[in-house]
Every structure is written in C-alpha cells, then in structure tokens.
C-alpha cells in the first residue's frame, strides 16, 4: 500500500459550508493554517476525501484543491506559525512521508 501526503486547501464563500468543510478536513488531517490541511493516505483515501468535499461545496462559488506532495518535500515556514504543532513531525517511510509521529516515537 503506497501512502502519500496530500495538502488540501480551500476557499469557501458561505460561512455554513466553510464550517462543514473545516470540520470534515479536521477529522481527516492536520491543520497547518485555517484553510490548509496535510493528510496522509492512499490514492483511494484521496478519492474518498475528494468525494466527501464535493458533497459539501458549491462548485460555482467555492475553490478546493488537493495536492499530492512529492517525496522529500521541503517546507520553509515564515511568520509566527509553526508548520506542525509541537510533538508532531514528518518522517520518511516507504518512499513517501509519514504524518503525525510524536517526537518520542522517533527514538524507537
């Protein structure tokens, strides 16, 4: 099973739809910014993510994008926000990245 990292971002016009999309993404990934999430999964997981989002948005008003991140992607954070919360790191696994690994797990 080939797991990959996906970056999902959105611009939702309606506050109710925005709240639903945010909740949906928060259940499936890690918020990097309010409307930007990183998620880990297979191509099938990405398909399920896209299908679920498609049900929540208005395609005439909203903009949602899912990017497959390349292996070894480099993140250059700037400003006050950290790219990942304390205790969470990205580590290489099987040609892709691995998400949501606590710091203490790296020692194992």
Residue 79 lies inside a defined structural domain of this protein: no
Report d(CA 29, CA 37) in Å as an integer.
Answer: 6
Domain containing residue 32: CATH number:
3.30.70.240
The residue ranking higher by pLDDT, 73 or 4, is: 4
The token pair that represents 49 in the structure block? 């993510």
Residue 76 lies inside a defined structural domain of this protein: no
Neighbours of 70 (CB within 10 A): 11
State the total domains in the chain: 1
Q: Where are the alpha helices (DSSP H) in 13-90?
A: 15-26, 43-56
Residue 78 lies inside a defined structural domain of this protein: no
Neighbours of 101 (CB within 10 A): 16
Give this prediction's pTM: 0.75
Host domain of residue 93: 4-71+84-106
- Number of helices followed by number of strands (H, E) in the chain: 3, 6
25-52 pLDDT per residue, tens: 999 988 888 899 989 899 999 999 999 9
Report d(CA 88, CA 101) in Å as an integer.
Answer: 5
């Amino acid at each position: 099973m080939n797991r990959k990292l996906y970056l999902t971002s959105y611009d939702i016009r309606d506050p109710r739809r925005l709240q639903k999309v945010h909740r949906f993404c928060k259940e499936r990934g890690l918020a990097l910014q309010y409307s930007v999430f990183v998620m880990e999964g297979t191509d099938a997981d990405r398909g399920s993510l896209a299908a679920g989002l498609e049900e929540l948005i208005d395609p005439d008003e909203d903009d949602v994008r899912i990017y497959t991140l390349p292996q070894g992607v480099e993140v250059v954070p700037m400003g006050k926000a950290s790219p990942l919360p304390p205790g969470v790191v990205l580590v290489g696994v099987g040609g892709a990245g691995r998400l949501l690994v606590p710091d203490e797990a790296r020692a194992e």
